[in-house]
Chain A
Amino acid sequence: MKKLLILGAGTAGTMMANKMRKTLSRNEWDITIVDQFKTHYYQPGFLFIPFGIYSKNDVIKPKNDFFPVGVNVIFSEISKIEPKDNRVILGDGVALKYDYLLIATGTRTAPEETDGLLGSLWYKDIFDFYTIDGAVALAEYFKTWKGGKLVVNITELPFKCPVAPLEFVFFADAFFTERGMRDKVDITYVTPLPGAFTKPRATKMLGELLEQKNINIIPDFNIMEVDNDNKKIIDFGGQEIPFDCLVTIPTNLGADFIETSGLGDDMNFVKTDKHTLRQVDHDNIFVIGDAANIPTSKAGSVAHFAAEIVEENLMCAIEGRELTATFDGHANCYIETGYGKGTLIDFNYDTEPLPGSFPFPGLGPFGLLKVTRTNHYGKLLFRWIYWHILLKGKDMPIESEMQMAGKKL
């Protein structure tokens, strides 16, 4: 029997286990998936928890619910990949051989990378919302918070779901307005980017939304440390920003074993060909999702669009053909803007987010770079789609390749 080994059973790994079990013959191929945790988190839902819209139970299910029959599941830590010997060493020393390896170990928040972030105020006045613990702790904190300076700070690029911090401040504006205390809350968005987002049109549109909602933006801020005693953040240039409540998006890193296995860049993201999604040094290793160092968003939508490409190229490699599928970096992000409305961006490596309608040209129902109620319902509906369609690797009525039809230049 030949062996396909999948590392990581998050969104990307689970989707691929489902897809490949359908594609690869059961008589010829063993498929094994490894993950250290037994709980699957619906990560797009974390954003909703601090504002009491979702609770913890809305975003968790057992991972075992989503694996197809005929896939071996191992819950274990991973200590190393040894690509020359085509094997992976697990935390307990057990070695797993593979013919093909798929890395889907994602990214994690690394607050320890910033001096003072894990100091005396951590989970007292400083929170993250990219972990279930942080999101739940922040929900409790907001229930009794009397107001003050709310500072949302992005530590460094790249980070998972680049629109989530914007959604967070939009939600915060609506949340404190609805509680009748918006005048007591000063919201500041502090980012290392030169504006609200990277690409020109989305930056302009989202920057204007921040202004309309009376949210301050401080760009080009690269945090050096947190001063817990004086409650302020300080950047490398010496600029200081005081806070009463700091919501941090910590440094994102890939898995530690990527570094020790010699496969990563300086943030432990796997060096990956951005078009074929194959690891740059090893022909029998492919990479999908946040774990890859490709220059697009770290987001579930990207993993979803990449899944078809990886499936096709993996089959090409297995059958000894040239890799025929090319990934375009397609990302598609619903952005909550508060008050039951949202906007939507759709883009890839070469095309910035443009205005228009999606997925059907002229019809929508979703509006690109427009704030509409339908966009918000699209995002809420997505949780159901995620659990029931996306993770199971079933087809969705959206092309993997980004479409120009319906977009206005």
Chain B
Amino acid sequence: MSIKTIAGVEVNVNDEGYMEDASQWTKEIASEIAKEEGVELTDKHFEVIDFVRGKISAGEGLTIRGIGKSGVVNAKEFYALFPGAPLKKVTKISGVPKPTSCI
């Protein structure tokens, strides 16, 4: 764990740059992390981010399927908004833990 200054605010992050305290998150922080990930945030991005943060604060798990069925975006749109590894990117930008895949 280390401290990183993002958008002028000191936040706790882990080795992979995921925020460790979701309450420290702000929209400005999201925009700056997004830039590092090569994503320019739009209103649609923030709708998805709201959904993701809501799910996590309710203690529920995140899956691409779940986001695709959310009514906010479908899976294809989700990939278009956060290209490459959408779940890893959206969680990092939303200031919530990286989802673990377990089999």
Q: When the two chains form their complex, are residues B75 and A236 in contact, meaning their CB atoms are under 8 A apart?
A: yes
- Complex interface: chain A residues within 8 A of B84 (CB): 220, 237
B38 at interface by CB-CB < 8 Å? no
- Complex interface: chain B residues within 8 A of A266 (CB): 63, 65-66, 69
Contact of B85 among A156, A158, A220, A224 (CB under 8 A): A220
> For chain B residues 1-52, which have a beta carbon within 8 Å of chain A?
none
Contact of A295 among B63, B78, B79, B100 (CB under 8 A): B100
- Measured CB to CB, the nearest residue on chain A to B75 is A236
Query: How far apart sit A205 and B3, CA to CA, in the bound complex (Å)?
Result: 35
Which among B75, B102, B103 has the greatest number of chain A C-beta atoms within 10 A?
A: B103
**Interface range for B:** 10 to 19
B101 at interface by CB-CB < 8 Å? yes
Q: When the two chains form their complex, are residues B101 and A157 in contact, meaning their CB atoms are under 8 A apart?
A: yes
Q: When the two chains form their complex, are residues B65 and A222 in contact, meaning their CB atoms are under 8 A apart?
A: no
Contact of B64 among A156, A197, A295, A297 (CB under 8 A): A156
Contact of A265 among B61, B64, B79, B103 (CB under 8 A): B61
- Measured CB to CB, the nearest residue on chain B to A156 is B65
- Measured CB to CB, the nearest residue on chain B to A224 is B76
- Complex interface: chain A residues within 8 A of B61 (CB): 265
- Complex interface: chain A residues within 8 A of B79 (CB): 222, 236-237
A159 at interface by CB-CB < 8 Å? yes
Residues of A within 8 Å of B, CB-based: how many?
A: 19
Q: Contact flags (1/0) for A236-262 with B, using CB distance below 8 Å?
A: 110000000000000000000000000
Q: Contact flags (1/0) for A198-240 with B, using CB distance below 8 Å?
A: 1000000000000000000000101010000000000011000
Given the known interface contacts A156-B64, A156-B65, A222-B64, the answer about A193 and B101 at a Cβ–Cβ threshold of 8 Å is yes
> For chain B residues 64-82, which have a beta carbon within 8 Å of chain A?
64-66, 69, 75-76, 78-79
- Complex interface: chain A residues within 8 A of B64 (CB): 156, 222
B54 at interface by CB-CB < 8 Å? no
A284 at interface by CB-CB < 8 Å? no
Query: How far apart sit A197 and B101, CA to CA, in the bound complex (Å)?
Result: 10
A32 at interface by CB-CB < 8 Å? no
- Complex interface: chain B residues within 8 A of A297 (CB): 103
Q: Contact flags (1/0) for A102-133 with B, using CB distance below 8 Å?
A: 00000000000000000000000000000000
- Complex interface: chain A residues within 8 A of B102 (CB): 158, 198, 295-296
Q: When the two chains form their complex, are residues A159 and B103 in contact, meaning their CB atoms are under 8 A apart?
A: yes
- Measured CB to CB, the nearest residue on chain B to A160 is B103
Contact of B75 among A158, A159, A162, A224 (CB under 8 A): A224
Q: Contact flags (1/0) for A274-305 with B, using CB distance below 8 Å?
A: 00000000000000000000011100000000
Q: When the two chains form their complex, are residues A267 and B65 in contact, meaning their CB atoms are under 8 A apart?
A: yes
A345: shortest Cβ distance to chain B, in Å? 11
Query: How far apart sit A198 and B99, CA to CA, in the bound complex (Å)?
Result: 13
- Measured CB to CB, the nearest residue on chain A to B62 is A266
- Complex interface: chain B residues within 8 A of A220 (CB): 84-85
> For chain A residues 127-185, which have a beta carbon within 8 Å of chain B?
156-159, 162
- Complex interface: chain B residues within 8 A of A295 (CB): 100, 102
A-B contact pairs, 5 of them (CB 8 A): A198-B103, A220-B85, A236-B76, A236-B79, A237-B79
